A = this chain, B = another copy of it.
Amino acid sequence: MIFTEQLAAAQRKNDSLLCVGLDPDPARFPAVLREHPDAIYAFCTAIVDATADCVCAFKPQIAYFAAQRAEAALEKLVAYIHAQHPGIPVILDAKRGDIGATARQYAVEAFDRYQADAVTVNPYMGFDSIEPYLSGWPEKGVILLCRTSNPGGSDLQFLEVRREGERLFERVARLAADVWNKNGQLALVVGATFPAEIACVRKLVGNMPLLTPGIGAQGGDVEATVKAGQTAEGGGLILNASRAILYAGNGADYAQSARAAAETIRVEINRYRKR
């Protein structure tokens, strides 16, 4: 099954557009895990088990693993999700971007080594930095950075390029919806902070999935985001929350706290979906 179909099936099965971001920061772990010999893996699998029936995807952020020498934990974590919660896709948030031969190595890392179902990729180097992910792994998803909601996101993405009024992120969206999307594998990252821009991207890309970080701790407005970004069928969004779920509680019952936070966000998202 290709990534976009797997994603749509998970969205239907759990009636959810919520993605839980797995950004394990040991400094924020509950006290009960402080002495744990494999704390990152223990923390993430507890969160995964507690939230698996209210999400459409999990999104581990590789920097948090790499900074802790925890590549082995990340491999085990993805294998655990596939084994225990089959059908929930794993998006590796890596934002890689490099030329052909090197891009291929990054694709091997994401898809063969970590067994991710999709990976985030930075489009700054253009199509031949994206193509190796497509030609070698036609069933996988490739999610391109388009419009990010951090303060510096406008430094380049908001620049107008030569074509009346088109901005750089709109050009990325237009390319991704058209000439770059050889096998229908592409999706886009569009931050939650600017609903008008989400609407603008949605108009350019048809039913393409949009991965939208910034729900919860980063302050994105759920109602505005869902209304701006959903497709005519009330789908097409992967709404990511990380810290608001991961660190909802820091007692021994942290996983239940995470589940309660995830369920609250799932229900709030659904309030604004077309049915």
* Chain A contact residues, CB within 8 Å of chain B: 23, 61, 63-64, 66-67, 69, 71, 95-103, 105-106, 108-109, 112-113, 122-131, 145, 148, 150-157, 159-162, 168, 171-172, 175
- Are B99 and A150 neighbours in the complex by a CB distance under 8 Å? yes
Instruction: List 6 tightest A-B contacts by C-beta distance, closest first.
Output: A126-B152, A126-B155, A63-B105, A128-B152, A67-B108, A159-B161
Docked-complex contact A124 and B126, CB < 8 angstroms = no
Question: A162 — which chain B residues lie within 8 A by C-beta?
Answer: 159-161
What number of copies of this chain does the assembly contain?
2
Sampled A-B contacts (14; CB under 8 Å):
A63-B98, A63-B102, A63-B103, A63-B105, A67-B105, A97-B97, A99-B148, A100-B150, A122-B122, A126-B150, A128-B152, A129-B152, A156-B168, A159-B162
Is A150 touching B124 in the complex (CB atoms < 8 A)?
no
**A98 cross-chain contacts in B, Cβ below 8 A:** 61, 63, 95
| Chain B positions within 8 Å of A151 at CB level | 126-128
The listed residue (B106, B126, B156) touching A171 by CB distance below 8 A is B156
Q: Decide: A124 near B127, CB < 8 A? Known: A95-B96, A102-B63.
A: no
For A61, list chain B residues within 8 Å (CB). Answer: 98, 102, 105
Interface centre among A99, A106, A128 (most CB of B within 10 A): A99
User: Is chain A's interface secondary structure helix, strand, loop, or mixed overall?
Assistant: helix
| CB <8 Å contact, A97 and B95 | yes
List chain B residues, Cβ under 8 A from A155: 123, 126-127, 175
- Distance between A137 CB and nearest chain B CB, rounded to angstroms: 13
Q: Is the CB of B23 within 8 A of A66?
A: no
CB distance from A125 to the nearest CB of B (A): 5
A159 contact from B63, B101, B127, B171, Cβ within 8 A = B171
Contact of A125 (CB < 8 Å), options: B64, B128, B148, B172: B148
Task: Tell me how far the C-beta of A19 lies from the nearest C-beta in chain B, rounded to whole angstroms.
Answer: 16
Contact assessment for B105 and A125 in the assembled complex, using a CB-CB cutoff below 8 Å: no
Do A66 and B105 touch across chains, with their CB atoms under 8 A apart? yes
Report how far A140 CA is from B154 CA in the complex, Å: 26
Whole-angstrom CA separation of A105 from B125 in the bound complex: 23
A123 to B125 CA separation, bound complex (whole angstroms): 11
